[in-house]
Each structure stands twice: as structure tokens, then as C-alpha cells.
């Protein structure tokens, strides 16, 4: 048994030397230190030894068990300390990133538009979201019962249809003309509302930027020059554009401006729906009746106006194919475009 004890001593210490984890230490305890483990069984055999062998072997057995239990306890403490240290200082973990808030994509586009037009000499004005029929339609030369009113499905707030949510930012043209003596050179960012089905391409609530210039002399050529300068700064110096004749009751002549689809460069794609062009704004020379409604003499002054949708521009910039993504406040989208 003496030989066996020496062998066991070597073996246990070798096992203890090899232990690296709490799990391995626990396995060691279950193998050797529990009542029916190696040491426990050894003690049972010890009890049956002839008495004359007991003193010497007893001393050895006690010493063995004592040193093994002591090393076990030390290892246990060391592993616990290590675990704690790792919890509080793992120098290899990547740092925690904190996320700063940022401007919403819609606001970024608005800010860019405002910055470009500020450089072109425009001031920023605003008007109310809740309008009356007078500013939203009548003063803008929409005749009563005229089908042009149906171009923009309206949310009416009163049964007599006199108070409504503005369907475009154009009513602010009237407010500006009535409030300021010309020359006027202003842009008007704002929210507009239309009673439309909500789907990937349209919302019932969106944003526009209106532009209005009224002066003693200006021209359609200047309107074009301003919009081309804008498009080049917004979409790139090489941007191709075209103006198409159009109709709005409050401008005459009227046009719509398209730019070359910057995704497919005209080849035709999902964004431009195959046409190769993207419509970016409506525009025209302010109708003389509208100047008159604004208290400005059309014999003395001339003006032009334009209006563009913001969501559309934000979608093109971000490559979104569903306008609703702009209003879900999904942090993944907001963090992607800051």
C-alpha cells in the first residue's frame, strides 16, 4: 500500500497541476474528494489494515489528503479571483460604442435644400399647416367646383369645407405676397397633407419646399437657371435635366422639371420605373390673377414659383423603395444615414 500511496500522490499532484478551469476543478473534486472518491475508498481500506501498519501509513495518508485538499482550496480561490477579474477588466473586449442622435434623413435633405437656396439669395419662410380654402385654393386661382381641386385630395376640418389641412405649400405664396412688399425671394419648407392611400409610393402626410420670386423683372429663363443651379448642387454637376410643359392653376406657363435618373443614368430601372427620368418639381410663372390676389400689381411685377417633394428626394438619395421606411423610426435606418 505504501507504493500505491506514493503513486497516488504523484498522480493527484499531476492532475492538480493540469487544472485550468473551475469545471476541471469540480471534476477533480468529484473523482477524488467526495466520500466515495479515491481518497474516501482508500480510507475504508485503511481501516481494515492490521494495526501495526496503521501508524506509518496513517501519517502518510493524512499528509497526502491534507496537501491535496489544501491545493484544491487554493486553486478554487485562484479560479474565482480570475473569474472576477475577467468580469471587471477584460482588456480585449471591444469598447462599447455609444450612439449619438442624428438628423433624420428628411431633415438632412431639407437642410441641404435650404443651404443651396440660401446661397442663391433666398430667405426661409413658413406658414400654417391648417389653412383655409381661400389660401389653399381660391386665391391660387382654383375656381370653385373646378376639377383642378380634385388634383389634390383634401382633408377638410370643417363640414363647410372652408378649413382644411394644406395640400401643398403654395398657400404660403399668398401669405408672403400679402405680408411683404416685393421684391420677394423666399423658400418655404413644410408639411403637407393629402387624403391618399398609404402605400410604398405615397403617404397622407409629407413635405414640400416651395419657392417664390416676385420682382420688377424676372423671367422663365431665370426660373430655369435657378432650378438648374439647384439640381447641379443637389445631384451633381453633370446632372442632365429637362423641362416638360404642365398645368397648375396658379402658374402660367407651367412646367415640370425632370432630372436623369442617377441610379441607371437613363437606361431605365426600378427607381425611374423604366423611364430614365425622375420628376423633381413643378414650376411656372406666377399667374397674374394670383399676383393680384396677393395684392401685387401684375402690370408692375412678375414672378415665378416652384414646389418640390422632399420624401422623394430622400428616397432617391438613400436608395429606399418604400416611402414608409422614412417614418418607422427604425434605428437601423436612422444610424445608417447620419
Residues that bind ligand PHE (CB under 6 A): 168, 170, 210, 248, 251, 282-284, 305-307
Least separation, in Å, of the C-beta of 284 and ligand PHE?
5
Give me the residue label for grid cell 431605365. 268
| Three-point CA angle 180, 184, 187, nearest 5° | 105
Euclidean distance between CA atoms 38 and 180, whole angstroms: 100
Q: Which is nearer to ligand PHE, 12 or 154 (CB)?
A: 154
Considering beta carbons, is residue 294 or 307 the nearer one to ligand PHE? 307
Least Å distance, CB 118 to ligand PHE, is: 19
Q: Are 30 and 37 in contact (CB under 8 A)?
A: yes
Of all residues in the shown chain, the one whose CB is closest to ligand PHE is 307
CB of 168 to ligand PHE, least distance (A): 3
Residue whose CB is less far from ligand PHE, 38 or 202: 202
- Could you give the 3-state DSSP secondary structure of residue 24? helix
Cβ-Cβ contacts under 8 Å for 23 (sequence gap 6 or more):
none
Q: How far is the CB of 246 from ligand PHE (least distance, A)?
A: 8
CB of 265 to ligand PHE, least distance (A): 27
Strand partners, 248: 251
CA distances from 74 to 19, 40, 50, 86 (A): 12, 21, 35, 18
Query: Would you list the DSSP string of 172-185?
Result: HHHHHHHHSPSPEE
Least separation, in Å, of the C-beta of 142 and ligand PHE? 11
Residue nearer to ligand PHE on the CB measure, 16 or 305: 305
3-state per-residue secondary structure call for 255-315: EEEEEECCCCCCCCCCCCCCCCEEEEEEEEEECHHHHHHCCCCCCCCEEEEEEEEHHHHHH
Given the complex with ligand PHE, which of 32 and 185 has the nearer CB atom?
185
Q: Give whichever of 68 and 281 is closer to ligand PHE, judged by the CB atom.
A: 281
Cβ proximity to ligand PHE, 42 vs 234, nearer residue: 234
* Shortest separation between residue 210's beta carbon and ligand PHE, angstroms: 6
Residue of 230, 227, 242 whose CA lies nearest to 113? 230
CA distance 326 to 72: 61
236 φ/ψ sector (left φ>0, alpha ψ -120 to 50, else beta): left
Amino acid at each position: 500500500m505504501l507504493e500505491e500511496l506514493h503513486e497516488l500522490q504523484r498522480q493527484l499532484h499531476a492532475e492538480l497541476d493540469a487544472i485550468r478551469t473551475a469545471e476541471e476543478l469540480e471534476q477533480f473534486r468529484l473523482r477524488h474528494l467526495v466520500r466515495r472518491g479515491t481518497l474516501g475508498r482508500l480510507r475504508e481500506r485503511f481501516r481494515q489494515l492490521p494495526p501495526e501498519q496503521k501508524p506509518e501509513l496513517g501519517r502518510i495518508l493524512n499528509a497526502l489528503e491534507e496537501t491535496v485538499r489544501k491545493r484544491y482550496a487554493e486553486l478554487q480561490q485562484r479560479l474565482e479571483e480570475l473569474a472576477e477579474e475577467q468580469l471587471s477588466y477584460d482588456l480585449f473586449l471591444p469598447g462599447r460604442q455609444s450612439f449619438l442622435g442624428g438628423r433624420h434623413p428628411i431633415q438632412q435633405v431639407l437642410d441641404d435644400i435650404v443651404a443651396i437656396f440660401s446661397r442663391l439669395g433666398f430667405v426661409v419662410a413658413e406658414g400654417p399647416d391648417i389653412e383655409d380654402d381661400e389660401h389653399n385654393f381660391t386665391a391660387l386661382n382654383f375656381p370653385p367646383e373646378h376639377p383642378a381641386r380634385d388634383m389634390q385630395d383634401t382633408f377638410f376640418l370643417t363640414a363647410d369645407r372652408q378649413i382644411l389641412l394644406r395640400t401643398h405649400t403654395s398657400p404660403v405664396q399668398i401669405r408672403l405676397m400679402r405680408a411683404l412688399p416685393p421684391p420677394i425671394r423666399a423658400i418655404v419648407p413644410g408639411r403637407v397633407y393629402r387624403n391618399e392611400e398609404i402605400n410604398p409610393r405615397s403617404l397622407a402626410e409629407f413635405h414640400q419646399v416651395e419657392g417664390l420670386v416676385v420682382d420688377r423683372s424676372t423671367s422663365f429663363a431665370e426660373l430655369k437657371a435657378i432650378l438648374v443651379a439647384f439640381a447641379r448642387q443637389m445631384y451633381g454637376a453633370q446632372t442632365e435635366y429637362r423641362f416638360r410643359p404642365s398645368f397648375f392653376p396658379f402658374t402660367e406657363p407651367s412646367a415640370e422639371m425632370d432630372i436623369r435618373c442617377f441610379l441607371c443614368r437613363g437606361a431605365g430601372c426600378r427607381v425611374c420605373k423604366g423611364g430614365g427620368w425622375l420628376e423633381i418639381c413643378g414650376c411656372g410663372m406666377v399667374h397674374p390673377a394670383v399676383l393680384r390676389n396677393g395684392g401685387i400689381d401684375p402690370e408692375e411685377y412678375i414672378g415665378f414659383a416652384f414646389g418640390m417633394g422632399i420624401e422623394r428626394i430622400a428616397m432617391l438619395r438613400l436608395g429606399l423603395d418604400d416611402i414608409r421606411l422614412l417614418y418607422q423610426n427604425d434605428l437601423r435606418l436612422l444610424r445608417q444615414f447620419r
